[in-house]
Structures are given as C-alpha cells and as structure tokens.
Structure 1
C-alpha cells in the first residue's frame, strides 16, 4: 500500500492560545535544559568514577543516556513549534520520530527491568551476586534490551507505513505517535488498535506489574538484613520504584484504553517524555549517598573523601 499523496503532516500541538505558547516555550526550554544537564551530569559522574564498576550504576548510566535520547526525539520539535507559524513535519521525519521515540522508550523499559533484576540479585542472592551480575552478564542484558527495543519499534513503523493515508494530514498531537496516525488512515484500523494496545499497552502493564512484584519480593526479604543494609537498600529501591511509577503510569494510560482520548494522551505523554526524564536525575542523586560522594570527587575534587 502507499501513503497516498501525504508528504508532510501538520502537528496540532498542545495549546492554541498564543500567550500560553510563549509561556510554555520558556517552561519547556528550561525543562529540556534540566533534562540534558541532569542526565549528562549523572552519566559523566558514573563514567568518571568507580561507580561504573558496579552493575547498578552501569545500568543507570545507560538509563540516563536513553533519557537524553528519548526526550531529544520529541522536545526540540515541541519547543520550536510553540513559536512557529505552521508546525509541519515531513512524512519521513514523522516515521523516524515515531521509530526513535519507541526505540529509546522501550530501551528504558527493558533497562529498568535489568535494574530490578540487579537489585533482586544483590539483596536476595548476595552469595551469587558476582556471578549473576558479572560485567559480561550486564552487557548481555543491555544488548537484549536494545535488540528487544529495536524489534518492537521497527514492527510499529512497518505497520504504519503500510497504511493508506488519505488525509487530512493534521496530527492531533505534538509528535508523531501511533494512535494519532491511525486516525488519518482511510481504512478500518480497529484491528490495528487492538494490536497496538496489545503490543505496547499490555506489554507496559505486564512489565509494570512484574517490576512492582519484584520490588515487593526484594523489600520483604530485607527483614533478614541488618538495619544499616536495610536502610541503604530501601533508599536505592525507593528511587527505582519512584522512577518506575512516574514512567509507567502515564505510559499505561496512553496506550491501554483506546485511541479516542488523544487530548488526554497529549497530557500523559508530557509526563513520560518531559517530566519523568527531568526528575530522574534528582531521584537518583538526592537519596543516593554513593552518587553524591562520587559527584564531589569528580566535580569538586574533594580528595578528603577518597579515604572514606
């Protein structure tokens, strides 16, 4: 099938009021700067310290990298469109944006699963931890995450590009995503809606439930640990659980119900494309003594902390 004569799309964005757009331009620009600086700070701190030798921080560095990439597929276009007279995007750019958004988003999901497995191995299987989470295993889990994300994303795009798009070419969203594009197809897409809800929505729910159950198991096993170990584990797991909830709940609300609530989808999408990536660095640093000490050593060159 062909996509008819559609060569570009018009992104309707989030707001129509010009004054609101100006305010949001400033606000989203600051958010994007915070996302870039915060996540790059974590990434460079881990790479420049001994934390990179620990599996948890190995995955955290890649999670920060995926956060930057994921947001960068959406935020620059969103911010520039707020001041543009006509918010257009070419067909090829639209497909590329959808692919990369799903690729980096799915990579984050799988890396969060790997981080949960790391915490399970560290707390529930401490005697086997070095074997279960060897550097070789970390790279395997990372490659599985990337390959799984690629397969997921390419399947979404291959289905969409086969749809006949007869117009209008207006996308009721601020970036190219599956459900808004399905609305432009001049064919029955009810079966495809079910397919996408199953592949993306149900996958998000199952992953979220699996993560919550794994952390419940981890936290329940802490009763047999010392109070100091328990406090450190609670702090680490608490950060992970907070990130999981902030990322997955808006994602589930976007992809699980139906494709009829696009206006609400745009609000939910802001949470997992802008809000969660902005707060992730704060969540992972403010309650993490190891990260704070590593930042002092890397950025402040506080040599007194080297012996502690």
Structure 2
C-alpha cells in the first residue's frame, strides 16, 4: 500500500542522528577504558558495568518492537487481559533472583552455554545449546526487525528492505566493535526513546478523545472498553480452547518466561556486574519495569480503542492499514486528525 506520507528533512535528520549516535556509542566503547582487548572486556564489560544501565538493557532486550507494536495492537483487538503476561514476567524475574543469580554469578561465566560444559563435563551439550541459541535468535531478530520495518513502510516512503538492513547493520556495527558495553548503553538510549514515545501517544490520544466527545478521563475510557467487552482482566474460564484467560496468561507466562530468566542475554548481564548484590538488583529492578511497560502499552491499546469506537472507524476495516501490525500508522492518522 503506498503511503500518503513521506520522510521530511527533520525526519531524516532524527533517523540519521539515531543511527549515528548508536554507532558512536560503539566507537566510544571500543576506544575507552583500554578498548576491547580481552574476551572478558568484550563479552561482559570486564565485569565492571553499572547495575542501573544493565537492568534497563535487559528490559529492552526482551521488550523491543514486539512490545511497542504487538502488545497495543493485541489489546486493541482482544482486550486488556494481556497485562497478566507482564505480571507473570515480573514474578519470573523476581523468582530468578533466588535461582539464576546464585547459580550463574559465582561461576564468572561469559555465556550460559559455558555452564552446560561445566555441568555435564562435555562440550557436546555446550555446542548443541549454542546452535539452538543461534537459531532462536535468528528467528527472534527476524520478528523484531519486521515490526518497525512494516511500520515505517506504512507511514513513510522508506522501503521495507532499507529499514531492515539499516537497523540490522547499525546493531551489527556497534555490537561488533563495542561489545556488551556498547549494547548496554545503546539499550539505555532505546529504552528512553521507547518510554517517551509511548507516553506521548497516550497523552495525544487523550487530547483527541477530549476534543472529539469530551472524553478526557481514564474512567470514561474504561467504560467504553467495558461496554465492548475489552475489560476482561478476570476471565478465569479453565477452558483451554479459549484464546486468552487468566490461567495461560498468568500461570503460563510464569512458566514460559523461565526461558527469559535463564536466557543468554540475562546470564550475560548478570555476569557483567562485579558483585552478587548488584546482579540481584538487576532482576529486582527489571521485573517491575517489565510490568510498568506492560501497563503503559495496555493503556495505549485501551485508549486507542476508545477513540476509534467514538469516531466509528476501525483502521483495518476502513483500509487505513493492512493489518494491526502497522500500529504506528494508526498513530500517524491520529496526529494528522488532531492537527487538521
């Protein structure tokens, strides 16, 4: 679908600035502190990274475009019960402070796959785990790159393939030259931008609602969603054929997200700080932040539904977007409407 919009000069400046700044972090990390001269420095920052940026880096590692694009679209279509997944993830991370940190941090690992060799006294489990881990990240990164690429294609004239290659290429450059230190500080930048962007969208939507039908408080937003069966937080139906209920979202997420607690990204960040106490604080902090982000995107989805319900227009049915994955296009339409 051709876009009605295109990148303006300021858009290109901001986009280029983000790319340049990210690469600059990689260059700075490669040159500062003696450079990336050892494996320990490259993979775990010589175990001297600060707890707070590492915690935010861990959050961004698992809450990228999937959170920003996928979660609000899911909530817009099916309701707010997805918040239980974020609650489950928080509980998993807090549980990991009692299991993952005591297990991995004292071993001074650089990779979770290294643990397999220590545990089973054989390189075969380590090799197998590494191959599986690589395949997992290949598929995972495909999804992560697809989200922003299709959103940019929808709201601008920026080609899909150009977005994928630009974002992926930038990440490869700053990671390969700057190591984990560059990844952590780039993630902090991304976390800041994601948070500001999501909050701006919520505020903008409330302004639009206020101007459209004097719907300026969250209570009215909840009432609209409740009347349309989207306040479905307490669906305790045990039927496994129901798409989403409390049990798979909450209990299932606690179990399923154990993979996050023992993921390579998590273990690598646990191992990048100097003390056991700092390693525990990483998970103590990241767990609630996961929940906060979950609440923010939940509000996004509910507010968006309230607005489009009032104006009587569903973006997909109206042909504004092809599918809900192009959620940024919905936001652009909102901004356009408010400025006209």
Normalising TM by the smaller chain, what interval?
A: 0.3 to 0.5
Higher relative contact order (CA 8 A, sep 6+): 2
With normalisation by structure 1, the TM-score equals 0.36
Q: Provide TM-score, normalisation by structure 2.
A: 0.34
